[in-house]
Amino acid sequence: MIIPFLTIIYVICCVFLILVVLLQQGKSADWAGTFGGGGSQTVFGARGAGTLLSRATTVAAIVFMVLAFSLTILISRPGGSSVIRGGAAPQQTQPAPTPAPTPAPPQPVPAPATK
């Protein structure tokens, strides 16, 4: 019962994460940023205060990863629900049937002798 609920939350989180990432504007999104003209001392560009979208992206990414690991563990654990009660019985192999003997070809009947 928990797996379908977590799957629904996971799909909602995926859609939210996609939308939040697509709404963000990239750092140095102009032509100067393309060729390294950011004018900052840091490696990955100027780091200002985190916006609401960047924080929402971080939270959504963490929830996404936690749900992915949780679903993987819950689905792959042994002893989960199965359609077959008691497990599947091993198949018994039967010996191959022997072919029926082929009848002998009919013998020619000798013609009656005439005198």
The answer to whether the predicted template modeling score (pTM) of the entire model surpasses 0.75 is no
Give the number of domains in the chain: 1
**Domain-located, residue 19:** yes
**Structural domain containing residue 67:** 1-25+52-75
Q: Is 33 exposed, middle or buried (0-12, 13-18, 19+ CB in 10 A)?
A: middle
Query: How many CB atoms neighbour CB 4 within 10 A?
Result: 8
**Domain-located, residue 67:** yes
Q: pLDDT truncated to tens, each residue of the chain (115 aa)? A: 788 999 999 999 999 999 998 888 776 555 555 565 555 445 555 555 568 888 889 999 999 999 999 999 988 877 655 556 665 566 777 777 787 888 878 888 877 877 6
**Domain-located, residue 43:** no
CA within 13 Å, CB half, 100: 3
Place of tokens 């560009």: 45
Query: How many CB atoms neighbour CB 35 within 10 A?
Result: 8
**Domain-located, residue 68:** yes
